[in-house]
């Protein structure tokens, strides 16, 4: 697995909150709520983010919170939704291509590989899925592409 270490700038975003199990139910939330909302506000071409508020390995599935976010263009405010800033800083990043049922497996593999490489998670910042402008999505199959981002506390060099 290829892991890059990148410095990310803070990003001002508008967020739609989802609470429930991750995986395909979260994929349905993106398709039924987030995508139409993005289209309604002419934000389809803006970078998007998925922010995992809760760790599904420690939180019951029905209580897991996740924010589907979109970068807000300068000067735009949307009073009907929450706004936040995704923290900048150093992140370990790997690419993902697959559907909502596979992304959990990819996160687990990424954590394992990151640990092997001496990458330690900064628990004060949430995990982030970054969907850059133009990120691939096939509505027929549900396959999408994104970057999985683990906020990095520090890196040690392994020999």
Higher pLDDT among residues 47 and 155, named by residue: 47
The residue segments making up the domain with residue 127 are 4-155
pLDDT tens track for 11-64: 999 999 999 999 889 989 999 999 999 999 999 999 999 999 998 889 999 999
**Dihedral of CA 74/80/81/85: which sign?**
positive
Report how far residue 46's alpha carbon sits from residue 134's, in angstroms, rounded to the nearest whole number.
Answer: 8
Number of domains in the chain: 1
CATH code for the domain of 144: 3.20.80.10
DSSP alpha helix (H) spans, 3-143: 24-29, 35-40, 103-116
Report how far residue 42's alpha carbon sits from residue 45's, in angstroms, rounded to the nearest whole number.
Answer: 8
Asked if residue 143 has pLDDT above 70, the reply is yes
Strand partners, 12: 85
| pLDDT at residue 158 in the model | 46
Buried b (16+ CB within 10 A) or exposed e, 1-18: eebeeeebeebebbbbeb
pLDDT tens track for 67-81: 999 999 888 888 889
Are the C-beta atoms of residues 67 and 105 closer than 8 Å to each other?
Answer: no
pLDDT tens track for 78-114: 888 999 999 999 999 999 999 888 998 999 999 999 9
The values of phi and psi at residue 6, to 5°, are -130, 155
Buried b (16+ CB within 10 A) or exposed e, 118-149: ebebeeebbbbbbbeeeeeeeeeebebebbbb
Cα-based distances in Å from 24 to 5, 28, 33: 29, 6, 14
């Amino acid at each position: 697995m290829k892991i890059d270490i990148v410095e990310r700038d803070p990003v001002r975003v508008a967020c739609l909150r989802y609470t429930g199990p991750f995986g395909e139910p979260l994929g349905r939330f993106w398709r039924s709520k987030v995508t139409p909302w993005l289209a309604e506000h002419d934000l389809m071409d803006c970078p998007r983010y998925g922010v995992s508020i809760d760790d599904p390995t420690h939180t019951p599935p029905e209580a897991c919170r996740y924010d589907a976010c979109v970068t807000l263009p300068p000067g735009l405010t949307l009073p009907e939704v929450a706004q936040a800033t995704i923290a900048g800083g150093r992140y370990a990043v790997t690419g993902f291509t697959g559907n909502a049922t596979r992304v959990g497996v990819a996160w687990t593999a990424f954590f394992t590989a990151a640990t092997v490489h001496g990458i330690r998670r900064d628990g004060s910042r949430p995990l982030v899925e970054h969907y850059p402008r133009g990120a691939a999505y096939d509505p027929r199959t549900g396959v999408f592409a994104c970057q999985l981002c683990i906020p990095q506390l520090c890196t040690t060099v392994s020999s």
